[in-house]
Structures are given as structure tokens and as C-alpha cells.
Structure 1
Amino acid sequence: MSKLKKELTLPQVIAMAAGGMIAAWMVEIKYWFELSGTGSFWALLTTAILVIPIGLVYSEMSSMLPFAGGANIWISNAFNWDTGWYFDWAQFLLYILAMPTVAYGIVTMTNYFYPLTFAQTKIIALFILIIWFFFTNMRIRILGRIQNVLFWIMIITSIFVSGNFILSGNWSFQNIKPWFPKGFSGYSAAVGILIFKYIGFDLIPQLTEEANYPRKDQWKAYAGAIGLTFLIYGLAIIGNGGIVSPEWIANSDIVDPKVADLIGKHYLAVLVVIAGILGTITTLSGFWLSASRCLYGAAKQRQLPPAFEKLNKHGQPIIGNIVVGIFAIYFTVFAPEKWVEYIYTIYSFVAGVVYFMVTLSYLILRLKRPDWERPFKVKYGILVGILALAFTVWIIIASLSEIAPSSLYLLAAYFAIGIGFHIYAKRMQKKEPEKWKPIVLGPEDIQSHNA
């Protein structure tokens, strides 16, 4: 039986998860201001607080059932094998959609040095994805080390730049006001949609089979990733918003470096662009690895052909990586010029649905399987689960209020492919019942996976 290598330390997992959340903020920040002006700071803080119950749910579930595939295995245990597959397919979409965001973000940041048309941006984004396919087939220990170094360079640099903005003579607290130019409706929409910026903590259970630290410490990975994400984004909003107006930001393609030039600190502009590009490049690792492990976990449960379990000599799911590359290229090719809004709304809606089902599974397994070992167990678990469930409903409603009909057509087409895989698996169960016998991984499988 093929097994993933347990080679990731806790700091490396935090770097991969937070790296998945902290990407291309200097490009995306204009959309945050469009939603709620400088009030997006409070929306991000609110979202960070509200996402804590979901993070606690994920911490307990990933310590109890530490398998690649995460939500798929949890939902399969709470509901059934068939339901688990469809939410695994939804989860796979989250990671796939993140890749064009990252690739476009990288190229858009380079626009600071050399302006490009959207067509040129798309071509370079595709080239980045193709190159990164080869990197994702390397040994995960190497990827973890690269991610760790570049991630901390990005964190330190962004804090340094935002601090310079705030301490410059050009920054004014009065410039931040009004906090909420679109009132409560803009703030509440931002709270729901900006969950997008915290999607990345769910990379942690995808990497849990490769994590080389105690399962009871899972919560530390979630807390570290969420805390660092708010710190960087919050400082960026305050730092930029205290110098320029929302209208200025709306007319800028890349914010932080142009604000640095505006206050006469070009060296800060160059520094933050280079650090942002390096940090965002490594973001691809976390999402790509997690996407391939969605497929790997599904193959373990016989929801996909056994070929998806095949690992290369470096311990990477080779077929899964190829399929991830194909989907990532597809969504990059067909992304419209307003790619930020297009991806944010789809992403937030699908995330809300997945998180809703994970939380529901958590509550069901608390009642159905109280005897299962939980190395990390949430205090006041039922209350925390209800709070998490309420927030996921808010995410779904807020994202649906902003989503375009064309995005719903795209979702329908994507899930049609998932239905095709499901029909194929059902057919193979009848044709080769022993080879394709449905499996639902449980606590009894943990020891064999860790052996």
C-alpha cells in the first residue's frame, strides 16, 4: 500500500496554510475597499473571530480522523460514502480556483515593473502553472523548507512596509474615515465574502498524513495561520487607507508599491513587490498539494480509480498532480478580466457549503461516535458547533447575494463532471466488486496509515 511521507513540521504546516491565505493582497485590496472601504479591516477582524469556531471544529476532526482528503472522510463517516464524494469534489474546487488567483496575482504584481495586457497576463499565468507542476512533484520535505523560508521573508517584509506607511508623515487617522461608506450592508457582505481570505486553514487536514507532530497540537496550526493572516491584511488596510482615498485605490492596479512611490519611498515599493511575488509563488505549493490529496484520499475510499493512489519516487501523487494541473489551466484560461470578483464569489459560496457540511458532520459524530479518540477535543463542543454552523449559513447567503448567474452555470458544469466520476465508480463496483468495494476510513485505519 502506498503511503505519504510524514515529513512536515508544525511551522512548515503553518507556513503552507497561512501562505495559502496570504497572497497577492496588494492586488486584491482594491476589491476589499470596494466592498466596505477601510471598514474591511473590521470585516476581516469579524471574520477572523467568527472563523475560530470553524477552526476548532477542523482541529478536532483532523486530530480524530487524520487522513488526506479531510472533509471527504469526515462527511463519509457522518453521512455516507456517496455524500462524502460530492463534498470532496466541492473541496477540490476550492483549491483549484485558488490557483488562477495566485497565478494572476503574481503576474499582476510584476506589472509594477513592466505593464502587461490581460492577454499577456493570462499567458504568463499559464506558464507559471506549468512550471509549478514540476515543483509539486518534488519531495514534500523540500517544498516545506522552501515555503517556510519564503513565507517568513514575505511576513517580515509586509510588516516592515505597513509600519513605514503608518509612521510616515503622510499617514493620517482622519483619512481612514468614514469606516463604512456602504453602511451595514457593505460590512455584512464583506464579512461573508472575505471568508475567502481565510480559506487556507483547511489545507491543514489535507497535509495531516504528512505532519510530523502530535495530533493534539492541530489547533496550533489553525490558530497560527488565522492570526498571521489577519495581522498582515489588517496592517495593509490601515497602512494604505491612512494615506490614500478609496477612490485612489479603486483606480490602482497594484496598491502598496504605488503608495510607497507616492510618499517618495521607492525602495519600499521594490521590496514589497519582490517579497509579495516570492511569497505568492510558494502559495501554489499548499493549494496544489491539497488538491492532489483530495483526489488521493478519494482513491483510498474507492471513489476514484486506484491510479490516483500511485506515488512517484518522491512520495507525490503523480496522477493527482496531472489532473490538478489540467483543471488549474482550464480555470485560468476561462477567467474573465475581472477575475478577482469572479473567483471570490464562487469561492466563498463553495467554501460556505463545505464548511456547513463539515460542521454538521462534527455535530453528528459527537453524538454518534462519542467513544472515538479525539487527541484534541473542543470544550463546549456542541455550542461551538452551533456557532460555526450559523456562520457558515451567513457565508452562503452573503456570497449568493453577490454571485453572477454565469458563475452558477460554471458550478453546474463542474459538478456534472463530479457526477460522471460518481457514476463511473458505481458502475465499477458492480463490474469489479472486490477491487472497487467502497471504503470509509475510520479510527481503526490510523495505525496502518502511520506505520
Structure 2
Amino acid sequence: MPEHALKKTLGPVSLTALGVGAVIGSGIFTVIGTAIAGEKFDTSSILNTPLLDFLIHHQALIGRPGAGPAIAVSIVLVALVCALTGLCYAELASMIPIAGSAYTYTYATLGELVAWIIGWDLILEYAGSNMTVSVGFAAHMVDLLDWFGLHPPATWISPAYLPTGLQDLQGNVIYNPGWHFGFNIPAFLIVMLITVVLVRGIRESAKANNTMVMLKIVAILAFVIAGAHFIKPAYYHPYYPNGWSGVLTGGSIIFFTYIGFDSVSTAAEECNRPQRDLPIGIIATLIVCSLLYVAVAVVLTGLVPWHSMVDDAAPVVNALKKLSLAPGGHSLHWVRLVVLCGAMLGMISSILVFQMGQSRVWFAMSRDGLLPGVFSRVHSNFRTPAIATWVAGFVVGIPGGLFDIGTLADLSNIGTLFAFVLVSIGVLILRIRDPQRKRSFRVPGGPIIPVLSIVFCGLLMAGLPIITWSRFVIWLVIGLAIYFGYSRHRSEFGSKNARNRVNG
């Protein structure tokens, strides 16, 4: 259908720019702290133990081990896994003559049930990532207010659930671990504000988005260049404080920073030479972003002790804050403001893009009959899926006000990794079931890369706590119950089959 084909205009440079813009988001400013320090609890618990640790050692730990200074190794390993999965995404996307998300082309190639699972999983991925980013945004907003000398009550700027408690910069206990009376108002408000923007249909222009990307990169470079002068080599010892268990678990968390790299593969239809350009765009994106991320990790772990970043939703700016208060650190006062502004703009951009993506997944699933039709209604004036957008806003905003960044990042990561596993399995299945289908791009090496992608994504999933697996399984069970109880009978295919049975 050439009248519906997209124009082929993208080369490797354009694809790399697209990928860097998608990957350089807010994750590096937020989740790197919990990936470095891990989470510690008062008593050992099976639920808080990473799955792989429990399977190997058969004992409960007191929390999730952090990578420590070895977070740089975690970043490189995660980039390699993303490269393998990105190539699988590229092949699957190139088989479909339309642009779309994993849900769209999975529906077209693997059928309704798998599409439902991946769509339901995408909802968790988008929601979890934006909950995490909203908590990170709130932490940076508090830091910005602090820069101007304003100090709002902790009750309204911290999550209601704090698994490790809350302390001030001097180490004084503000809240003990567990639940407390409070709500993270800035996290809730930023999601609601962006929801209003999306309902009204105001979108970023390419120029504005490119400007935000540049500001995010400037913020990263400002931190790296300024912070490099204050590194204390003693903080790098021990380099592997929790061994390879910490590296794997840290990678499972830092994986969050790469969410969005697959946007390169979804542009397969618009590539001039997909066989050449897609691998170059994917690999170049991951190399550029990994270099920036490793630089941040090396500087950050050299500025403050790695174990001091427990449950820190703004580790980069908080490290600058501590240094600016120390003797000789006054010059970092303005650097901290630059990093704050760049990080916050990046978070606004990320929340906007992923919140729009989440509402569109709801919209697409509703239009296919898999979710109630109310989610595919379009606003009469703004021509946007208003109800889906509002529901998605509250689904993200309320948990963003209640939970800590570590819990939310875990949920987002396990959802994304599971989607990657399904995509890689889909490539293998379609190689057998539909080998003659035209592929603008084919993953080299036969089944080796898809199998490696499945194995390594599974390992990263195994680095997440058992409680995260439990929540994920509950989410999938709820999704399957909805599918077999509602969606299966009301979907587009289900309706056709029912009509055929009646007519037959």
C-alpha cells in the first residue's frame, strides 16, 4: 500500500540523533542513586532479596545490594543487552508496513493474546517509568526551592511509603522506615499539569524537543567537568562492594536510563537503507549515551561515598549540594543550578512523551476492542483521547505521590525487560512460522542474537527483588483475567468470529 508508506529520509546520523534524544532522559539524574547504593532494611526478608541471589544462595538478604562504584560496569553491560534487543526490535518493526509501537506490530504478527500481554505490559512500563520520573522531578523541585532558601514541610514533599526512612543531610532521622502521613505533592502536580497539556493537544515541536535534549546534555557535561576536580579516589574502594551480585542488580535498576532507545528501531520504515542504517543508529546511540552515563557514574561515585545515596531521588544535584557547602566548593553553587534546570527540563520532556505514549496504548487497545470503548473516545474540540489521557494521569500521579523511587523503578524495569523478551521470542517464532515475509532488516547471525537477548534480559530480571516479581505476576494475572473475561469476546477478532458463528 504505497499510498500509506512513510517517506524514506533517515540516515545513520539522523537515527543516532533520534536515539540520543530518546535515551538521554531523566533516568541518569534519578535512579542512578538507588542503583549504586541499593536498598537496606532492618531485617532480612525473602521478598526484598533479588531472585537470582535467593536461587543461588537459598537465603534471604536484608535488601537489594547496590553496585557501588562498579555501576559503570553495570551501565556497559546494560548497553550491550539493549544492543541485542534493539536489533530484534528492528527486525520485527521492519516486517510491518506501518509505524507503531510493540503492541501494534505484535498484534499484526503474533496474534491477539500476545498483543494483549505486551500492551498490558507496556501500560506497566510507561506508568512505572513516569511514576519514577515524577518522584525524581519532585526531589529536584525540592532542591531548586532549597537553592532559593525555601524549605517546605517534609510531609508534603516526600512519599507516604519510605522503605528505608528519611534523613536530612546531617543524618538526622525525619521519618522511620515504612508508611507515614504525607503525600509527594510536586510529583502528583507535575503529572496532572502535563495531563492537562496532553488533553488540550499542545505538543512539542521538533525544535523545542531538540533544545531540551541539548540542555540535558549540557547539564550532564556541566556536572562531569565541574565534579571531576573534586573526586576523591578513596571513594572507589572497594570497587565491587557487593560483588557481581551488586553489578547485576545495579544493572537491573540502571536499565531504566535506557528506556526509549527502541525508538530507533520503530523508524525502520523511514530509513534509506535499513540493513545498514538501523544497526549503525542503534549501536551509535548506545555508545554515545553509555559514554555520557559512565562519565556521570565515575564522577558521582568519586564525589560522595557510594552507600550514602540510599533512596536518593536526586543523587547528582545532592552530591553537588554537599560539595558546595564544603570548604572550597562555593564554585559549584551555580553549577548545581545549571544541572537542576537541565534535569528538570529533561524530566518534563520525558513525562510528556511517555504519558502521551501510555494514553495512546490505552487508545489503541480500546479501538481494537481489548479495553472498554470509552478509552478510545476523542474529545470533540481538542481531538485527543481525553478520557484515556485523564485516567492515565491519575494512574501515574497518585502512586507517584505515595511510593519511593526504588519501588517504582523496579516495576518499570521488569515490565520493560519482559516486553523485550517477548519481542525477541517473536523474532524466533516468525523466523519459523513466516520465513518468506519481507524483512527490510534481518538480525545477523541467525538465532544467536535473539537467544542472547532473551537470556540476558532474563538475567537482568532475575536481579530484581522477589517482591517485584510478585507484583509483576499479580499484574499479569489481572491482565489475563480481564482478557479472558472481557477483551477476548469484545475485540475486533472476537466480534468477527462471533458473527461468523452466527452466520455459519
Flag the structure with higher strand content: 2
What's 1:416 paired with?
478
Structure 1 residue corresponding to 2:410, chosen from 345, 348, 351? 345
C-alpha distance after superposition, 1:348-403 (max 9, x if no partner)? 2222222111110011112222222222222214211111111122122222xx24
Counterpart check, 1:201 vs 2:222: no
What's 2:305 paired with?
245
1:93 Cα deviation after fit: 0.8
Contact kept in structure 2, 1:348 and 1:395, CA below 8 Å: no
Amino acid at match of 2:482: G
What's 1:126 paired with?
188
Cα RMSD (Å): 3.6
What's 1:54 paired with?
85
Structure 2 residue corresponding to 1:23, chosen from 18, 23, 26? 26
What's 1:154 paired with?
216
Counterpart check, 1:63 vs 2:94: yes
1:286 Cα deviation after fit: 2.1
Q: Distance in 1 between matches of 2:499 and 2:102?
A: 20
Question: Is the radius of gyration larger for structure 1 or structure 2?
Answer: 2
What's 1:142 paired with?
204
Cα 1:12–1:390 change in 2 (3 A) is: same
Amino acid at match of 2:156: A
Cα 1:427–1:386 change in 2 (3 A) is: closer
Q: Distance in 1 between matches of 2:282 and 2:476?
A: 29
What's 1:376 paired with?
441
Cα 1:356–1:288 change in 2 (3 A) is: same
1:103 Cα deviation after fit: 1.1
1:95 Cα deviation after fit: 0.3
What's 1:447 paired with?
none
Cα 1:124–1:87 change in 2 (3 A) is: same
Structure 1 residue corresponding to 2:340, chosen from 273, 276, 301? 273
Structure 2 unaligned spans of 5+? 38-65, 159-183
Contact kept in structure 2, 1:40 and 1:237, CA below 8 Å: yes
1:251 Cα deviation after fit: 8.6
Q: Distance in 2 between matches of 1:396 and 1:253?
A: 22
Give the SS at the match of 1:371: coil
Q: Distance in 1 between matches of 2:336 and 2:114?
A: 48
Contact kept in structure 2, 1:193 and 1:344, CA below 8 Å: yes
1:109 Cα deviation after fit: 0.9
Counterpart check, 1:105 vs 2:136: yes
C-alpha distance after superposition, 1:283-315 (max 9, x if no partner)? 112211221232233245442355545556776
Cα 1:421–1:364 change in 2 (3 A) is: closer
State the TM-score, normalizing by the size of structure 1: 0.81
* Map 1:262-411 → 2, pairs under 5 A: 262=326, 263-264=329-330, 265-305=332-372, 308-310=375-377, 316-333=384-401, 335-336=402-403, 339-399=404-464, 402-404=465-467, 408-409=470-471
Cα 1:248–1:135 change in 2 (3 A) is: same
Cα 1:382–1:409 change in 2 (3 A) is: closer
What's 1:88 paired with?
119
Give the SS at the match of 2:128: helix
Contact kept in structure 1, 2:138 and 2:157, CA below 8 Å: no
Cα 1:287–1:160 change in 2 (3 A) is: same
Amino acid at match of 2:198: T
Contact kept in structure 2, 1:74 and 1:358, CA below 8 Å: no
What's 2:495 paired with?
433
Contact kept in structure 1, 2:35 and 2:249, CA below 8 Å: no
Amino acid at match of 2:96: L
Amino acid at match of 1:30: G
Cα 1:430–1:155 change in 2 (3 A) is: closer
C-alpha distance after superposition, 1:153-178 (max 9, x if no partner)? 11122112212222x1x324453232
Cα 1:412–1:142 change in 2 (3 A) is: same
* Map 1:439-450 → 2, pairs under 5 A: none
Flag the structure with higher helix content: 1
Give the SS at the match of 1:242: helix
What's 2:42 paired with?
none
Give the SS at the match of 2:396: helix
Structure 1 unaligned spans of 5+? 439-451
Contact kept in structure 2, 1:97 and 1:328, CA below 8 Å: yes
Cα 1:434–1:318 change in 2 (3 A) is: farther
Amino acid at match of 1:303: L
Shifted more, 51-60 versus 112-121: the winner is 112-121
Contact kept in structure 1, 2:91 and 2:442, CA below 8 Å: yes
Q: Distance in 2 between matches of 1:359 and 1:272?
A: 37
Cα 1:302–1:246 change in 2 (3 A) is: same
Q: Distance in 1 between matches of 2:361 and 2:273?
A: 20
Q: Distance in 2 between matches of 1:43 and 1:5?
A: 37
Cα 1:387–1:315 change in 2 (3 A) is: farther
Shifted more, 59-68 versus 348-357: the winner is 59-68
Give the SS at the match of 1:142: coil
Cα 1:357–1:140 change in 2 (3 A) is: farther
Q: Distance in 1 between matches of 2:289 and 2:134?
A: 19
Q: Distance in 1 between matches of 2:492 and 2:383?
A: 31
What's 1:442 paired with?
none
C-alpha distance after superposition, 1:74-104 (max 9, x if no partner)? 4445543123212210111100111111111
Q: Distance in 1 between matches of 2:293 and 2:470?
A: 29
Amino acid at match of 2:462: I
Structure 1 residue corresponding to 2:19, chosen from 14, 19, 34? 14
Cα 1:286–1:430 change in 2 (3 A) is: closer
What's 1:441 paired with?
none
Q: Distance in 2 between matches of 1:220 and 1:427?
A: 43
C-alpha distance after superposition, 1:249-284 (max 9, x if no partner)? 449663333433143321111111111111111111
What's 2:249 paired with?
189
1:228 Cα deviation after fit: 4.1
What's 2:62 paired with?
none
Amino acid at match of 1:348: N
What's 1:39 paired with?
70
Contact kept in structure 2, 1:55 and 1:201, CA below 8 Å: yes
How many matched pairs? Answer: 424
